[in-house]
Chains A and B, each alone.
Chain A
């Protein structure tokens, strides 16, 4: 454990000092990395820990974004307060979806389909909601508010530290959950729900708590997202491709691991950026060229490390994870 703590401390120190050595663009890439690591961690709580496949996690990201942005724009409510409302609403929606599926025993693939359906409903709904700009998008004004940290107004450097703190907090939360009784109950339910019941675990309650934790975390991701970009479009934020983006980092890094989402984000986001530059440099302007290369890169990674990069890397480094 000592060695792991040392490595963690070193990583934290490097990340805290890193912006000194980076330009604005590089800093903004790392913001994306941290936000991806954060959202990956949230998704991983449901899929990696409790075995619930959500293919519609963009729902919570988008709801968190819209709720906090609307409260800020229409009522001047600071997102630091608005985030509580965003979390409450996301948790409410998550519990409704959870109750619906657990009540009617919708499991596995069918549960995943249900999560897609709800994200799609939100996408279409917000497309028509004039209060938050409808299909034209919802915008936060940038003028005159720069530097108001209590309103989450700031540039890449500010959001570097905001997103770093979020990713670190999500990691710490997941470490604590993974080692808690609830965390072990999630693993048991993921491995075999029937056997979990036989050792006294209330499976529905365990699943519901995973859904709630994951939705609450994702809501905060949405708040950061919208205040960083200063805009939100329902067609993008609730899109299926967004849900897939959320899943990619933990899948590539290692589902159910604590470092997987972080490692996955550090690989995927820079890879995506590099591919943009590469396709531009090569003069390939075909739409989707980036997606083709990205897909190829994913296939290679999955082929080389089918259960994620972190599990195989961990073995080589000789460090354990989550075992007391």
Chain B
């Protein structure tokens, strides 16, 4: 059975249809990418899944339970964690506190939560930065902190919204490595929105393409990148070369 099932979800902002009857299924243990040009509705789709907005139509199922209409904190408690495209750390708190607060969802004892946070921080190469405030981090570190905090909630499924954007190629490769490790060693299913095709090609087993709020293609990275409509609307002619 699929871990996440999105059934014909639709979201309208006044006249604009931001997400138009999008359906997708993500298998447990998969790495699934959602791509598409800016304004295609990717982040809105994430917000619908994570409970930030109610759907105007359609349904979202996570692990068999219907979650659309649930509050974000309830969705997270079920094991579906997300990161924000524009990173939202707790700026005045230390890196360690940021992640420990995530860990407190499953581990109510603060001391134990800080210990759990340490493990996560080490995994994401942030342990050396633990005493710094989140506000003082560089962008790549903030992106990693965003992933660390979400991961600390011990999710079954991680929604990653452009965690590679703004990273240098070496940093991207490191993030790809980290995500693969999270996926393989901890069995966390990953759904990512990504513009960095290098990362998508390296990570994703299945790719879903949105354009103007609607699904235009789905398949393996190879299949999708050969799809004429995807090339026309998103990848551009240079991708053909």
Q: Which residues of A contact B (CB under 8 A)?
A: 179-181, 184-185, 187-188, 190-192, 194-203, 323-324
Contacts and interface: CB of A to CB of B under 8 A. Distances in A.
Interface residues of B, number: 33
Nearest to B105: A200
Given A180-B110, A184-B110, A199 B81 contact: yes
A195 B73 contact: no
Interface of B: 50, 52, 71-73, 76-77, 81-82, 84, 88-94, 97, 100-102, 104-105, 108-111, 113-114, 149-150, 152-153
19 contacts: A181-B104, A181-B109, A184-B100, A184-B110, A187-B90, A192-B88, A192-B91, A195-B88, A195-B149, A197-B71, A198-B72, A198-B73, A198-B81, A199-B76, A199-B102, A199-B150, A202-B71, A202-B73, A324-B111
B108 A181 contact: yes
Contacts, number: 79
B72 A191 contact: no
A185 B84 contact: no
B149 A199 contact: yes
B236 to A, nearest CB: 33
Contact of A200 (B76, B94, B114): B76
Contacts of A184: 97, 100-101, 104, 110
A196 B50 CA distance: 13
Given A198-B82, A199-B105, A199-B149, 4 more contacts: A184-B110, A188-B101, A190-B92, A199-B152
Contacts of A195: 84, 88-90, 149
Contacts of A181: 104, 108-110, 113
Contacts of B111: 324
Contacts of A201: 73, 101, 105
Contacts of B77: 200
